[in-house]
Amino acid sequence: MSEPGAGAAWDGGLKARVDGALHDFVAAETALLTAIDPELKPVSEQLTAAVADGKRLRAAFAYWGWRAAGQPDSEAMVRAATAVELVHAAAVVHDDLIDDSPVRRGVPTAHLALRTAAPAGPGQRAAGRALALLVGDLLTAWSGQLLASCGLPAGYLARARPLWATLARELVAGECLEVLRTRAVSVRAGAPEASSLEIIRYKTAKYTVEHPLHLGALLAGAPPALLAAFTAYGLPLGEAFQLRDDLLGVFGDPRRTGKSNLDDLTGAKPTALVSLALARSGPDDRDRLNALLGRPDLGPAGLDELRDLLERSGARARVEELIEERTGAARAALAAVTLPAPAAAALRDLVTTATARIS
């Protein structure tokens, strides 16, 4: 499996430009924040940490949506694309808070890091969580601010305004569905695969691939046919991206993923991997799955046993098949539309980058 790199057709220096735009914007905004009161420095540090690293795939899809519509390279469009990375940063902070995850990218998550900013005592944990919630909220606000101030003409931005509302609504819908169905999967034997895929579609797939592509295309004034082609390409690719993430969350190397292998399992997350295992296991294995899922004291031995159950049920192999099916659908959709050569090459390359990865 490969990782995104400077030699990738989609990149060509784009990632570095997005990193630079994020750094400049966040540095200016955090300076304004700490100017209010120096006590806000730990909050500013977590805002900076939230955007310090990332594959920048969402920005890449937005940028290449713009280029696929026939528009030239544009620094203003790079800044507009960067706004989607702030949406992602906010979603990550909120997701870690919801899941009570201890580690992200190999460092303490925001709600843990911010505990030390609050006075010691029984309310310190709650204070850390409250501060992290506000960090995520500010990142969300910043995303709209950066898009509005990116430098593209107001008429261009007006084309994308309805999409921005849709993106927020569907992202929150997916998060809410996951919360509502978390732990239910461990007591509802054979939870439908479709339920997990619905969460994937709204929580991740749309705002990772389809919506960024549509953002770039709408800003560029693309016709409806191109938007439809981007949906045909973006939805299956976004689902494949998250299915790969689910596999890495359990079977990946934490030194590469930067996350614990236990998070989804101790949280009894309604992933396709778990849903398929429950549906495909015999009664004894299903009982054991239900006994282990959601246990906060799972530990390495429990992880090994759950991995064995997930493998034995055929769930891991089936998720790989789902990824392959969706990857093929994305490639077929891309092959069916005529795009400028650089955009076509970049979008082909992004299929591999999004799905054949180890972190």
- 48-100: pLDDT as tens digits: 999 998 999 999 999 999 999 999 999 999 999 999 999 999 999 999 999 88
Q: Judge whether 112 lies within some domain.
A: yes
The domain spanning residue 64 has which CATH number?
A: 1.10.600.10
In the chain, DSSP finds a helix count (H) and a strand count (E) of 18, 2
Where residue 102 falls among pLDDT bands split at 50, 70, 90? confident
CA 138/CA 23 separation, integer angstroms: 16
CA 299/CA 286 separation, integer angstroms: 19
- 16-34: pLDDT as tens digits: 999 999 999 999 999 999 9
- Domain of residue 206: give its range: 14-355
Q: Judge whether 28 lies within some domain.
A: yes
Q: Judge whether 3 lies within some domain.
A: no
Phi then psi for residue 270, to 5 deg, are -80, 55
CA 306/CA 322 separation, integer angstroms: 21
CA 197/CA 204 separation, integer angstroms: 10
Q: How far is CA 267 from CA 51, 98, 111, 275, in A?
A: 25, 10, 17, 14
Q: Give the number of other CB atoms < 10 A from CB of residue 288.
A: 15
Section 120-146 average pLDDT: 96
Q: Judge whether 7 lies within some domain.
A: no
CA 283/CA 302 separation, integer angstroms: 19
If one counts the domains in the chain, the total is 1
Q: Judge whether 4 lies within some domain.
A: no
Q: Judge whether 215 lies within some domain.
A: yes
pTM above 0.75, yes or no: yes
Residue 231 is inside which H or E element, if any?
helix 224-251
Q: Judge whether 91 lies within some domain.
A: yes
The two structure tokens encoding residue 230 = 């981007």
- 298-339: pLDDT as tens digits: 999 999 999 999 999 999 999 999 999 999 999 999 999 999
CA 43/CA 26 separation, integer angstroms: 12
Q: Judge whether 8 lies within some domain.
A: no
The two structure tokens encoding residue 107 = 């460092």
